[in-house]
Each structure stands twice: as structure tokens, then as C-alpha cells.
Chains A and B, each alone.
Chain A
Amino acid sequence: SQQGEEDPQALSIQEGENATMNCSYKTSINNLQWYRQNSGRGLVHLILIRSNEREKHSGRLRVTLDTSKKSSSLLITASRAADTASYFCATDLPSGYSTLTFGKGTMLLVSP
């Protein structure tokens, strides 16, 4: 079963707009990571946020984590057509090993 569930499943916006994707998970985590996947390609690591962090920034990306609600959000500001991809959240369970459990992803389409 999936640990993380992204919402929405698909998102379509215009260039320049902001895109927000949400991730909810079920059990306690050590950290949460966001990945991007262009169609049929490998996953690219975007950002890692630890369970004791609430917010993290990287360029146009902003990630928040609310452990009380077991949820995270990924905000992409001033989106570009090149941001078109699927975005996945992945949780790292406190098992002692780095095994990431992925959600089913949000497909983001950014139109010029």
C-alpha cells in the first residue's frame, strides 16, 4: 500500500502561475523527499525535509511539513513549461534504513 498520497492527481496551469501539490502520509516518518519525473525518465531529487523541520526552500521550490497533520506541500513559484512533469513525495520510515516509500504522484502540466 502507498504511504504517501499526492493531491491533486493532475494539475494544469499557465506559465507564470504558482503550482501547489500536497502529500499526505499515514505513519511517522524520519524525513520526506520530493522528486520530479519527466515522462518515462528517471526520478530527479528536488528537496529533502526532515521531520523536525517545518519549511524549506530551494530556488523556486518551497516545501512545508506538518507532522501533526501528516502532510507536506510543494509549491513551485512562477512555473515554466519545463516544470511539466510528475511530482512524487517519498517518505523515509524510521526503520533505520533509507527505504523510500512513494506516492502515486501529481502530474503537472504547465502551458506556455
Chain B
Amino acid sequence: DSGVTQTPKHLITATGQRVTLRCSPRSGDLSVYWYQQSLDQGLQFLIQYYNGEERAKGNILERFSAQQFPDLHSELNLSSLELGDSALYFCASSLGTVSGNTIYFGEGSWLTVV
């Protein structure tokens, strides 16, 4: 158990809908990361937050947004969903943003768009 908690574990929704994925980082970790894993794209970095502020942005679509709250939990919002958004979405956390931190991953949220 990495200590990173993600909900929901599985989600099935229709195209055009909006979903919210939730993440609680490990106790004491200030950084939260979101990754998307799909068969064709592999593991793609989406976005990073540190202590409530956005710190790095990767291949995140404009239809997607995220935030980190004062209690350090984070949410990833996916809107106007398309079939191609079906993937495993991971949240990860680390103590800080300094390079070399071990990044701990949650078990992921399986999103299926039908």
C-alpha cells in the first residue's frame, strides 16, 4: 500500500459527460501528480501541484482540469468525455518537488467512456 488513495476505482460514463477523480496523497506529501495510462499512449504525465499551486503541466487536454485543495487532496476533472479518454488515471504524490524524490502511485481510477 503506497498510502495514496484514489476514488473511484472504476467509473463507466457516457460520451459528453463530466467526471471527477479524487486523490488523497500520502501523509506529509505536498506534491500531487496526475498521469494517464492507455494502451496506445502509455503513461502520460498530465499535471503536477505543489502545496496547492500548479507547478508543471504535461499533455493535459483543455477539457481536463485539476486542482489541489488546502488539505492537499486533489481532484482531476474530465469534461466533454470522448471514447478516447477511456484509460487508467493515476494520482501520485511525493514529499516535495526537488528532483530525486520518490514518487508514490495510487492504484488508479479506471475510466471507461461508452
Contact = CB atoms under 8 A, between A and B. Distances in A.
Contacts of B2: 42, 44
Highest count of chain A CB atoms <10 Å: which of B90, B97, B100, B102: B100
Given A95-B56, A99-B33, A42 B105 contact: yes
A103 B108 CA distance: 18
Contacts of A97: 48, 55-56, 97, 99
A101 to B, nearest CB: 7
B43 interface: yes
A88 B99 contact: no
Given A42-B2, A100-B45, A31 B107 contact: no
A95 B97 CA distance: 10
Contacts of B74: none
Interface string A75-107: 000000000000010001011111111111100
B105 A99 contact: no
Contacts of B104: 45
A48 interface: yes
B58 interface: yes
Contacts of B97: 96-98
Contacts of B94: 98
A62 interface: no
Interface in A21-40: 30-31, 33, 35, 40
A31 B92 CA distance: 18
B61 interface: no
B103 A102 contact: no
B53 to A, nearest CB: 12
Nearest to B106: A42
Given A41-B107, A98-B33, 7 more contacts: A2-B42, A31-B99, A40-B88, A42-B2, A42-B107, A92-B100, A98-B98
Interface of A: 2, 30-31, 33, 35, 40-45, 48, 50, 88, 92, 94-105
